[in-house]
């Protein structure tokens, strides 16, 4: 993939385009489904290397589980899940970008590539 920098406006427009056409994800979903076990391993390794799921993570789980019953515990669990979802999404996007770069770097190796 050629090295290129994008403006915030370009990224916003690309995200909007993705939101407008869910069918464009069909091939990507097939690819990700096929690669899921390997991608899960890469994601886990990236999260571990970044220190995201060490002692701090365990402390967050313990804190949420130990919160008083009722609304406070539910709120703590919701916040923990939302934070983990955001973090996983951000790391997942980074992994996806690197996967795309790797695929583009080796695109010339595949004689069956179509453009």
pLDDT in tens, 17-49: 878 887 877 877 888 888 888 888 888 888 788
Cβ atoms of residues 73 and 64 within 8 Å: yes
Residue 29: both structure tokens together: 């979903």
pLDDT tens digits for range 71-114: 999 999 999 999 888 888 888 888 888 877 787 777 766 555 44
Q: What is the pTM of this model?
A: 0.58
Residue 91: both structure tokens together: 């790391």
What residues contact residue 75 under an 8 Å CB cut-off, 6+ apart? 67
Q: In 57-72, which positions are buried (b, 16+ CB within 10 angstroms) versus exposed (e)?
A: beebeeebeeeeeeee
Between vectors from CA 105 to CA 99 and to CA 106, what angle results, nearest 5°?
Answer: 95
Q: How confident is the model at residue 3 (pLDDT cuts 50, 70, 90)?
A: low
Per-residue pLDDT at 72: 92
Residue 66: both structure tokens together: 């130990």
Cβ atoms of residues 2 and 102 within 8 Å: no
């Amino acid at each position: 993939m050629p090295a290129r920098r994008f403006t915030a406006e370009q990224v916003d427009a690309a995200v909007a385009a993705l939101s407008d056409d869910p069918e464009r994800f069909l091939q990507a979903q097939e690819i990700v489904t096929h690669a899921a076990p390997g991608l899960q391993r890469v994601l886990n390794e990236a999260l571990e290397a970044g220190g995201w799921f060490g002692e701090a993570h365990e402390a967050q789980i313990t804190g949420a589980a130990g919160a008083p019953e009722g609304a406070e515990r539910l709120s703590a669990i919701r916040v923990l899940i939302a934070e983990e979802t955001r973090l996983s999404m951000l790391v997942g996007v980074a992994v996806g970008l690197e996967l795309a770069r790797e695929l583009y770097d080796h695109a010339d190796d595949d004689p069956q590539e179509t453009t």
